[in-house]
Chain A
Amino acid sequence: GEKVEQHESTLSVREGDSAVINCTYTDTASSYFPWYKQEAGKSLHFVIDIRSNVDRKQSQRLIVLLDKKAKRFSLHITATQPEDSAIYFCAASKGYAQGLTFGLGTRVSVFP
């Protein structure tokens, strides 16, 4: 089955700098790649997603890049703020009947 590897387990960034989280997947049939944020003691909050028909998507300070050849996708958080501190999970799916396969999460800490 699909496997998603999240390359950074922790990331520490200065406020205002960018944070980049990289994920790779194994199944070439995967076509949907969402990102979720989980703050301490809270549930998963959807932040942004990308589908395989595009290679870049931006929503305010968040940019997602998809490289289908390398089976790699990444989340760029620009101009980081303290409230960006959380665990971020990447995921991949071939279609919802298959559900999402998650990475193990990246703990992002934004310091002043």
Chain B
Amino acid sequence: NSKVIQTPRYLVKGQGQKAKMRCIPEKGHPVVFWYQQNKNNEFKFLINFQNQEVLQQIDMTEKRFSAECPSNSPCSLEIQSSEAGDSALYLCASSLDWGQNTLYFGAGTRLSVL
């Protein structure tokens, strides 16, 4: 079983509301990724971190999405102003290092924007 912990499992928001989800990566894993999986099973890379530093993020993330991985606290992904198109499963994954190591995924947060 995955040791990546994501909360909450389900999140329901109205359009324009903030939506925040959290992730505790597997112990000792400094690399964290966030992905969005839509209902058509399309995965979209959002952002990744090594320790507390953002390494790469897509444009979408830069505008309405914010994410952080502070030391000694859970990582978080926040959508500042939710839109209907943001309804999806948000997956957090962690890895031991960058060297093509396995990504371990959490159970995800399913966001519904009404």
Contacts and interface: CB of A to CB of B under 8 A. Distances in A.
A34 B103 contact: yes
Interface stretch (A11-19, A56-64, A65-73, A99-107): A99-107
A63 B100 CA distance: 19
Interface stretch (A20-28, A36-44, A75-83): A36-44
Contacts of A43: 2, 91, 105-108
Contact of A95 (B35, B98, B107): B98
Contact of B42 (A95, A97, A104): A104
B2 A45 contact: yes
Interface size class of B (residues with CB under 8 A): 20 to 34
Contacts of A36: 105
10 contacts: A34-B102, A43-B108, A51-B100, A96-B101, A97-B48, A97-B56, A99-B33, A101-B43, A104-B41, A104-B42
A67 to B, nearest CB: 19
Nearest to A87: B41
Contacts of B28: none
A100 B48 contact: no
B100 A31 contact: yes
A96 B43 contact: no
A3 to B, nearest CB: 12
Q: Please provide the 5 A-B residue pairs with the shortest distance between their CB atoms, ordered closest to farther.
A: A102-B43, A44-B105, A32-B100, A99-B45, A43-B107
